[in-house]
Each structure stands twice: as structure tokens, then as C-alpha cells.
Amino acid sequence: MTQVYRFSESEILFFFMVLVRMTAFVVSWPVFGSENVNGRIKVLFALVLTLAVFPTLKFGVAQAEAMRADLVLLTLKEAFVGLSLGFLARIFFFAFRVAGELLSQAMGLTSAQVFNPALGGQTTAIEQFYVTLASLFYLGVNGHHYLISGLVSTFEWVPAAVPGLNVSQFSGMGHLVQEIVELGLKFSAPVVISILVVNLILGVLGKTVPQLNVLVTSFPINIMIGFFLMMVTLPMLMDQMGDFLQLSTVRVFQFVKSF
């Protein structure tokens, strides 16, 4: 005989709460949450995650009463938690965007723009190269698996359909942004400093030999030296990527735990 499962109204609302958090996370998730991923795929993936996680979650009377009392506020809370986790996970990629932008300026390639479908706008070619490299590394070391595991753990740290949310920890976002800029400077420092030294030498040569057109000569030299040093420092950058990914993942989970 076929057994029919019936869900109460409270259980359906609880499922909706979980789905809201999952959908908000998938939409803001780095790599998979970009604009070049079809919206239907995002919604389907969020639904699959919800169906996988929902049976493992605890649902009590207190949560049912809270949903009846203030459904809209709890829905906004779930969306906030999902979006926060997704956007904080982008920290790993923000540092490489900063590094790519600094390198583009140092090499004189800021005008070399390419369309970035993830942002829906123009970015420099060097920045796009670094972000693509970081994305491949992220997928190669299964960074998305760790993030999904952390997403499931958020239901223990911040239970669904439970009122109350501590957002005081977001006052430390300024320090986090500072760390991102510092890491971007560290990633680009070898190339930027080398190009600066070359420009200083060319400046001295320009004063010594006035016939030398330093402005025209510096462009190809900066580009060649920049690309050469980028290739030389690439193995070291890959090593730093692993450490930074681990650090950023820990930092993201610490933020979410404090909610």
C-alpha cells in the first residue's frame, strides 16, 4: 500500500525558509552565482540543496509559532544569512581583482578592456586573467564543496525560522576590506616594484640621453617585463592562493557563526 506523506502548514513554511536561504546563497555564490549562469539552473540547484538538507533539520513548536508571528521578518533574515555567506565567500576573488587592476595600471594596460559576463561590464584583461585563474584554482581544490558544507552548518549556527540576528560583527568589515587590499598589493608587489625600478632607470637615462624618447620606449618595456614577471611569479602565486583560500574560508565561517 502506498504511504502518503502529509505536511502541515508550518512544515511547508519551514521548507520555504530553508529554500530562501539556499536561493539567496546560490544567487550570490562566487563562480556559480555569476550572471552567465542561467537563472533556472540556480533555482533548480537551490531546490536540490533544500531537498537534501531539509530532512536533516530540526523543526519544533517554537519555530512554528515564530513563523506565524512574523513570517516576513524571518524570510528577510534567511535571505540575509544566505546573501551574507555568498558575498563573504567572494573575498577570495576580490583580492585578485585588486591585484589585476594594480598590474594593469603598472603595465599601462588599463585601456585593454574585455567584457566580464560575471559582472556584466568591462574589466581589464589582466584582472580577468587573475580572476579566471583564481576560479580554476577554487574549483580544482574543491573550494565549492567546503562552502556548501559550511552552508549546511549555518543551520546549526543560525537556525532557520528562529527570530533574532546579531549584525554587530559587520562593524569589522572595514578591517576585512583593508586585508583584501593588502593581499592584492602583496600579490602584485613583485611586478609593480620591478616596473617602478625600470621606470626610474629609464627616467635617469632620459635625463642623460635627451634624444631618448622615454615615454614611447617605456610602454613596450613595461609590458614585456610585466608579462615575464607574471609568468615567473605564477608558481609562488599558486602557493599563496591555497593559504589565502583557507584563511578566507575560515574568516567567512567566523562571521556567519557570530550572527
The answer to whether position 1 is within a domain reads no
In the predicted model, is pLDDT for residue 3 greater than 60?
A: no
Of the candidates 187, 188, 193, which has an alpha carbon nearest to the alpha carbon of residue 240? 187
The answer to whether position 148 is within a domain reads yes
Nearest-angstrom CA–CA distance, 161 and 167:
17
The answer to whether the beta carbons of residues 104 and 219 sit under 8 Å apart is no
- The total domain count for the chain is 1
Q: What is the pTM of this model?
A: 0.77
Return phi, psi of residue 114, to 5°: -130, 155
Residue 194 contacts by C-beta under 8 Å, 6 or more apart in sequence? 225, 229
Set of cell numbers at residue 141: 581544490
The answer to whether position 48 is within a domain reads yes
Of the candidates 47, 55, 59, which has an alpha carbon nearest to the alpha carbon of residue 21? 47
Average pLDDT over residues 60-72: 70
The answer to whether position 47 is within a domain reads yes
Percent of the chain with pLDDT over 70: 84
Percent of the chain with pLDDT over 90: 2
Read out DSSP for 165-202? ---GGGGGHHHHHHHHHHHHHHHHHHHHHHHHHHHHHH
Expressed as residue numbers, the domain containing 209 is 9-257
The answer to whether position 2 is within a domain reads no
Highest mean pLDDT among 24-28, 139-143, 172-176: 24-28
pLDDT (tens digit, 9 = 90+) per residue, 141-163? 888 888 888 888 888 888 877 77
The answer to whether the beta carbons of residues 160 and 78 sit under 8 Å apart is yes
**Would you give the DSSP letter of residue 248?**
H
The answer to whether position 188 is within a domain reads yes
- Residue of 236 and 169 predicted with greater confidence: 236
In the predicted model, is pLDDT for residue 116 greater than 70?
A: no
The answer to whether position 250 is within a domain reads yes
Nearest-angstrom CA–CA distance, 84 and 91:
11
Average pLDDT over residues 228-245: 83
Nearest-angstrom CA–CA distance, 86 and 3:
38
Nearest-angstrom CA–CA distance, 238 and 39:
32
Tell me which long-range contacts 7-14 makes (C-beta under 8 A, separation of at least 24): 10/59, 10/63, 10/64, 10/67, 10/68, 11/59, 13/64, 13/67, 13/71, 13/161, 14/57, 14/59, 14/63, 14/64, 14/67, 14/160, 14/161
The pLDDT value recorded for residue 4 is 46
The answer to whether position 34 is within a domain reads yes
